[in-house]
Amino acid sequence: MESETVIDNLTEQDARVELARLSSVLSQANQAYHQADAPMLSDAEYDALRRRNAAIEARFPTLKRPDSPSDQVGAAPVSGFSKVRHAVRMMSLGNAFDDTDVDDFVSGIRRYLGLEETAALAFTAEPKIDGLSLSLRYENGTLVQAATRGDGTVGENVTDNARTMPDIPTELTNAPDVLEVRGEVYMRHADFERLNAMQTQKGARTFANPRNAAAGSLRQLDAHITRQRPLAFFAYAWGEVSEPLGASQSESLDRLAALGFQTNPLTQKCQNVDDMLKHYKKIETLRATLGYDIDGVVYKVDDLSYQSRLGFRSTTPRWAIAHKFPAELAWTRLEAIDIQVGRTGALSPVARLAPVTVGGVVVSNATLHNEDYIAGRDNTGATIRDGKDIRVGDWVQIYRAGDVIPKIADVDLNKRSKDARPYDFPTKCPECQSDALREAGDAVRRCTGGLICPAQAVEKLKHFVSRAAFDIEGLGAKQIEAFYQDEVLPVREPADIFTLETRNVASLAKLENRDGWGVKSVTKLWAAIEAKRLIPLNRVIFALGLRHVGEASANLLARHYGAWSKFEEGVISATDESSAAWADLLSVDGVGEVMARALTASFAQEAERASIDRLIAHLTVQDIEVPETDDSPVAGKTVVFTGTLEKMSRAEAKARAEALGAKVSGSVSTKTDLLIAGLGAGSKAKKAAKLGIQTLDEDGWLALIAEA
Ligand code: IVH
């Protein structure tokens, strides 16, 4: 059968052609199966073709297609997860809470094994990831099953979902015939924040913390949803194996890494308790900078023959222990609730706290999210903190998880003063006194003042000059605040930036003569502003600071419409939701009804539209041309930038790549085609090397795009 033919002697060209063919055959087969309900291949044939595709991709990772069948999940949604009995039980860990517990753990093991004080006994120490554990079963190198821990004996079958995760290889080369890899599924802070922002935008439920988000995402019945969730995986253990991965814990982890799994870079071999505690301290110090949640350090006996002698108690191994971090919690008094008004008018309540140290950091502010949160409800109306509301004067418990903004975990009702009243959320904007309204389905109350609201106007201007927008050198948040207040040379809307120079000429209080400015810096500022009169469409769209339109959406909109006039006309005509223009707007990848309505609403507002028109009159907006796929060396490829670029800004390099038809991603995965490594590139470059991803330095990148 063709699918069983060897791939060892395929040339790169053959492989490219073959991957295209497999992608087409498998996609037809998928369609026949799911839509026409008339399978054209048997299950065995289908699986064999998928395996062949995966094997070719594993050998030629750079040839993996954006529409690779490996990334397509064929299975239809199921009504519930089937159950899986683990071949080897999934254990939990005992806990150590202080140095003495760790000492006792080590001496207990020495005693158990009958080892002298002087005999060598090494341990590994690694972060305890705050996620959920997953067991991956590979047979003959192919991922056949992924299961959650469940009760340790029986878990849930989440194979389709696991297959969508970039950190989980679906095929392994040179693996034992049977291999169960175990590790933790988790979500990075940045991805968690982004996911919650998207959920809010869609009016869907948000997650309380990255762990819940990871669990909720992995346990989705529809694998298509899991695919869209940014889940990551660290391997740290194994279940059934047909042959040992190594003689020690550390060797085995190295083997897992060589097989293509992510292992935690902070794993270290320790020779004694001192080393272990030193590493614990180091990890604790790094905790806030890791970008994902950890809740302790796990120590494991390194020698596997010792591990097997030590064995298990009822639910925990004798050879491992989790040394937990002290909870990052502290009680303090809530002194006031302030309301901040953002660029889109959102009224955000902020808790002003009597300063308190939480996990080594002094905290005096915490987010209160919105009025429901203060009242003790989440955005679905369910209670949080057991329904306790938050009142000014309350004793509140603050918690920090990594570098995530501090939150209020609890309220001490016993300490509440008798005359404390529930917080009255303002219904007028505290900055401009306009009505602050809450639309149905929106968790947030917003100021309706638009541009007359000084807070909105200043935030909009700051956004306008920010890096991914107009990026005007010498005109940052501080200068914007000052110009906004300036009586002589006011900047109240973006268009005013472009008339500054001429207004200054006629001004009596010339900028050059003011504190903080001089002839040189002013001349530079004019040049910087001048340079931005010519500006690409995507930057303009992003700079307008329209609700829900982030950098990525702005790029997509720019690529779709191509020119400012088309964009403006398209959005204005889309106000009529039965029009072709509305359908066209919704056809843009990543634009949903919420964003589309926000766009049309902005352009339908007289004052906002006039302000945009005044701005555009000063600009030459560059069209975005999406090249034909074959025209550019990076068309259709997923490109990642890392390290410092010297010859162009990261934002510019990104824009160039996108203009050449590439998809720019922030993280390296098996889907990455090309990594551009600038100066000081670190972990991403290492990962790319491990995955065999083509990597170029900045000059190589410039040479590549020069051909385009
Ligand atoms: S080893 C037989 N290593 O912690 C020992 N577990 O509280 C298997 N966890 O169920 C676990 N990071 O979900 C191990 N580096 C790590 C871990 C880790 C997180 C989780 C795992 C386990 C739970 C026990």
Q: Which among 86, 128, 294 is the best mutation to test ligand 1's pocket, defined by most ligand atoms within 8 Å of the CB?
A: 128
Residue 443 has pLDDT above 50, yes or no: yes
Residue 322, pLDDT > 70, answer yes
d(CA 293, CA 404): 9
pLDDT given at position 404: 58
What residues are paired with 176 via a beta bridge? none
The amino acid that residue 551 corresponds to is E
**pLDDT recorded at residue 327:** 67
Q: Is the dihedral of CA 72, 75, 80, 86 positive or negative?
A: negative
Average pLDDT over residues 486-496: 95
| E strand segments, 105-200 | 123-129, 132-139, 142-148, 154-156, 178-186
229: helix, strand or coil:
coil
Atom 13, ligand 1: residue with shortest CA distance: 133
- Dihedral of alpha carbons 208, 213, 214, 217, sign: positive
If you measure from the C-alpha of residue 671 to the centroid of ligand 1, how many angstroms do you get, rounded to a whole number? Answer: 28
Tell me how far the alpha carbon of residue 181 lies from the centroid of ligand 1, in angstroms. Answer: 13
Q: Strands, DSSP E only, in 452-583?
A: 534-536
Q: Return the minimum-mean-pLDDT range out of 14-18, 50-54, 111-115, 595-599.
A: 50-54
- Whether the pLDDT of residue 1 is over 60: the answer is no
88, two tokens: 């080897």
d(CA 357, CA 353): 11
- In the chain, what are the domains? 12-72 (1.10.287.610), 94-324 (3.30.470.30), 331-415 (2.40.50.140), 450-532 (1.10.150.20), 536-622 (1.10.150.20), 638-705 (3.40.50.10190)
> Which of the following is catalytic: 128, 460, 637, 663?
128
Query: Which tens digit of pLDDT belongs to each residue from 82-101?
Result: 888 998 999 989 999 899 99
pLDDT reported for residue 2: 40
Question: Where do we find the tokens 């700079």?
Answer: 543
Which atom of ligand 1 is nearest the CA belonging to 320?
5
Cα–Cα distance, 66 to 638 (Å, whole number): 8
Q: For residue 403, what pLDDT is reported? A: 45
Selected residue with higher pLDDT from 53 and 659:
53
Enumerate the H helices of 245-386 as residue ranges: 249-258, 273-286, 304-310, 371-375
Reference 343, options 428, 443, 447; nearest CA is 447
Taking the C-alpha atoms of residue 198 and residue 219, their distance in angstroms, rounded to an integer, is: 19
The closest of 335, 370, 385 to 356, measured between CA atoms, is 335
Which residues form the pocket of ligand 1, taking CB atoms under 6 Å from any ligand atom?
91-93, 126, 128-129, 133, 184, 236-237, 298, 317, 320, 322
Which residues, 6+ apart, have CB-to-CB distance to 270 below 8 Å?
122, 123, 124, 125, 276, 278, 279, 299
Reply yes or no on whether 128 is catalytic. yes
* Angle, CA of 431, 437 and 443, to the nearest 5°: 105
Q: What are 355-376's pLDDT values in tens digits?
A: 887 865 678 899 899 999 999 9
The per-residue pLDDT for 3 is 39
Is 60 exceeded by the pLDDT of residue 75? no
**Mean pLDDT estimate for the chain:** 88
H/E segment holding residue 523: helix 519-531
Band of pLDDT at residue 465, cut at 50, 70 and 90: very high
3-class DSSP state of 548: coil
Residue 31: pLDDT band with limits 50, 70, 90 = low
Nearest alpha carbon, ligand 1 atom 3: 236
Distance separating alpha carbons of residues 48 and 475, to the nearest angstrom: 59
Ligand 1 centroid–CA 116 distance in Å is 29
**For 386, phi and psi rounded to 5 degrees?**
55, 30
> How remote is the CA of residue 238 from the centroid of ligand 1, in Å?
11
**DSSP strand E in 632-680: where?**
638-642, 663-665, 674-677
Tokens of 611: 């302000």
**Pairing relationship of beta strands 320-324 and 329-341 according to DSSP bridges:** unpaired
Residue type, 462: K
pLDDT tens-place string over residues 252-281: 999 999 999 999 999 999 999 999 999 999
pLDDT tens profile 323-355: 998 767 889 999 999 999 999 999 999 999 998
Could you tell me the two tokens for 1?
């059968």
0.85 exceeded by the pTM? no
**CB-based contacts of 371, cutoff 8 Å, min separation 6:** 349, 423, 425, 438, 445
Tell which one of 123, 129, 181 to mutate to probe ligand 1, the residue whose CB is within 8 A of the most ligand atoms: 129
CA-based end-to-end distance of the chain: 41
Q: Which residue has the higher pLDDT, 58 or 109?
A: 109
DSSP SS3 for 338: strand
- Centroid of ligand 1 to alpha carbon of 184 (angstroms): 7
Supply the pLDDT for residue 172. 96
pLDDT the model gives residue 705: 84
Residue 438 pLDDT > 90: yes
The answer to whether the beta carbons of residues 636 and 645 sit under 8 Å apart is: no
Phi, psi of 67, rounded to the nearest 5 degrees: -100, 30
For the segment 175-199, the average pLDDT, to the nearest whole number, is 94
- pLDDT bucket at 4, cuts 50 / 70 / 90: very low
Report the pLDDT value the prediction gives residue 129, as an integer from 0 to 100.
96
Instruction: Please give the pLDDT value at position 402.
Output: 47
Q: Whose CA is nearest to atom 10 of ligand 1?
A: 92
* Residues of the chain above pLDDT 70, percent: 93
CB atoms within 10 A of CB 320: 21
Average pLDDT over residues 482-498: 95
For ligand 1, atom 5, the nearest C-alpha belongs to 91
